[in-house]
Amino acid sequence: MAVASPPQSIEEQRRWEGSLDQLRGLVSERAITGETMLLNMGPHHPSTHGVLRLLLELDGEQIVSCLPDIGFLHTGIEKSIEDKSYEKALPLTDRMDYLSPMSNNMAYAAAVEKLLDLDVPERGQIIRVVCLELARCASHLVWLGTHAIDMGAMSVLLYAFRERERILGMFEMLSGQRMMSSYIRPGGVWRDVPDDFLPTIKQFLNDFPAKVDDYEALLTQNPIWKDRAQGVGVIEPDVALAYGLTGPALRGSGVNWDLRKAQPYSGYETYDFNVPLGEHGDVYDRYLIRIHEFRESMKILNQAVARLEQVKGPYRSENRKYCPPLRSELGQSMEAVIHHFKLWTYGYDAPDDEIYNAIESPRGEIGCYIHGTGGNKPRRVHFKTPSFIHISALPVMAKGYLLADMVAIIGSVDIVLGDCDR
């Protein structure tokens, strides 16, 4: 069998690898001459959390530059939404950030509500807060498990997924679906919470704080974990702002910015909670912030569940021009049948104008830009997703650190490629 001999010269190696000219200006000159090594990481590398490909330029083990390559999970969600009426586009948003679909639903629903000038009843807002905070916990649990397994702490994953399973069970109670829930809809939520939901979530709220302590016992003071995480992937606050980081990645650098506090939506201004902040902007601080966010989410959930028991009333707007009537009304009211038929065939018209609305997802600011046409389909929907911004800032965070730190840095900004590519 003929075996190709290794390249004997730089010229020969270049012929093997194809042209480096397209990378000129993006990697340093030393990579063009072959002094530093270009290494491909992904798209199937287990710690790239999906299908992220990185082209790393290495000087020994040190990262000189890093070129992320995305688009492997691009599904054209924004294009598909342009061909659907506003209500029917909602299930597509589940598929963007598949670890916290509730946040995507909320981002889209809140944007449509703003475009239509539609109000949400109080009970609907409380149920939304419950869903959003449960989604935050579920998403952070996946992040915790995978981040830990990336850095060599194998057992945390099993503990984290055990608790996540309970949250997904609650989502199934609410919406009939564990993950792709499509529960939060323009005007409120799809249906009221079932009777057995409150006991279940109370049991969960009772158990969960002790579990968070367990995770902390495994990691926070663990010397190996600290060695891997402290002082790695540092990003200064002004750099983080310039690159548009949001969420825990920004708060890890000590910038006090949380849309739940700064620009409250869904009644977040009435809940008592704190925004945890880091100081060093490294992997360890971003880890601590998410751990503290579990506890703050528990605080919010406790208050929201108490309100859920007191506040009765509609869970979805009763503006029948935008929200379909209840099933029970259909047999009694001709008008309800007309509304039902109109809403599920044609949908509703939205103004020919543009709005941008942002909420705080577990990963950061998820913004939704909608430009209506005056008809029942939008002209353009654009999602500004936190993972997209965070991956574009990876080169800044990774520069100068070791190849092994890259895994920690990717994990610490908590990326989801479905969120990034849309």
CB nearer to other proteins: give 153 or 358. Answer: 358
Instruction: Give the number of residues in contact with other proteins, rule: CB under 8 A.
Output: 43
Distances (CA, A) of 36 to 21, 27, 30, 63, 396: 15, 10, 6, 10, 18
Residues 377-416 that bind other proteins (CB under 8 A): 379-380, 382, 384, 388-389, 391-392
Contacts of residue 207, Cβ cutoff 8 Å, sequence gap at least 6:
none
Q: How far is the CB of 262 from other proteins (least distance, A)?
A: 6
**Of 231 and 267, CB closest to other proteins:** 267
Nearer to other proteins, 45 or 261 (CB): 261
Regarding 268 and contact with other proteins (CB under 8 A), the answer is no
358 binds other proteins (CB under 8 A): yes
Q: Which of 341, 344, 346, 356 binds other proteins (CB under 8 A)?
A: 356
Q: Which is nearer to other proteins, 83 or 165 (CB)?
A: 83
| 3-class DSSP state of 357 | strand
Q: Is residue 172 a contact residue for other proteins (CB under 8 A)?
A: no
Q: Is residue 244 near other proteins by the rule CB under 8 A? A: yes
C-alpha count within 13 angstroms, C-beta hemisphere, residue 255: 22
Q: Looking only at residues 112 through 141 of this chain, which bind other proteins when binding is defined by CB under 8 A?
A: 114-115, 117
Nearer to other proteins, 113 or 405 (CB): 113
Minimum CB separation of residue 367 from other proteins in Å reads: 5
Question: Counting contacts by CB under 8 A, is residue 110 touching other proteins?
Answer: no
Helices 283-310, 403-412: inter-axial angle, 10-degree rounding: 20
Closest CA to 230 of 256, 252, 258: 252
Is residue 236 at the binding interface for other proteins, with CB under 8 A as the rule? no
Assess contact for 30 and 391: CB atoms under 8 A: no
- Cα–Cα distance list, 299 to 143, 205, 271 (Å): 21, 9, 9
Quick one: which of 18, 25, 199, 223 contacts other proteins (CB under 8 A)? 25
Return d(Cα 324, Cα 318) in angstroms, integer. 8
CB 191 within 8 A of CB 212: no
Whether omega for the bond prior to residue 43 falls within 30 degrees of 0, making it cis, is yes
Q: CA of 375: how far to CAs of 82, 86, 349, 370, 389, in Å?
A: 11, 10, 5, 13, 32
Stretch that binds other proteins, among 221-229, 340-348, 354-362, 410-418 (CB under 8 A): 354-362
Token pair of 236 as six digits = 């200064």
Report which of 402, 408, 418, 391 is spatially closest to residue 147, judged by C-alpha positions. 408
Which CB atom, from 61 or from 352, has the smaller least distance to other proteins? 352
Q: Which listed residue (57, 78, 94, 282) binds other proteins by CB under 8 A?
A: 78
Nearest approach in angstroms of CB 12 to other proteins is: 25
Task: Report the alpha-carbon distance of residue 231 to residue 159 in Å, rounded.
Answer: 27
76 belongs to the binding site for other proteins (CB under 8 A)? yes
Q: Which stretch binds other proteins (CB under 8 A): 39-47, 151-159, 320-328, 374-382?
A: 374-382
Cα Rg, the chain, nearest whole Å:
24
When asked if residue 18 is in the footprint of other proteins (CB under 8 A), the reply is no
| Cβ closest to other proteins, residue 27 vs residue 298 | 27
Nearer to other proteins, 38 or 389 (CB): 389
CA distance 131 to 312: 17
- CA–CA separation, 400 and 27 (whole Å): 14
Contacts to other proteins from residues 88-107, by CB under 8 A: none
Q: Note whether 28 and 36 are within 8 A (CB).
A: yes
In the complex, which residues of this chain contact other proteins (CB under 8 A)?
Answer: 22, 25-26, 70-71, 74, 76, 78-80, 82-83, 114-115, 117, 241-244, 255, 257, 262-263, 351-356, 358, 365, 367, 369, 371, 379-380, 382, 384, 388-389, 391-392, 421
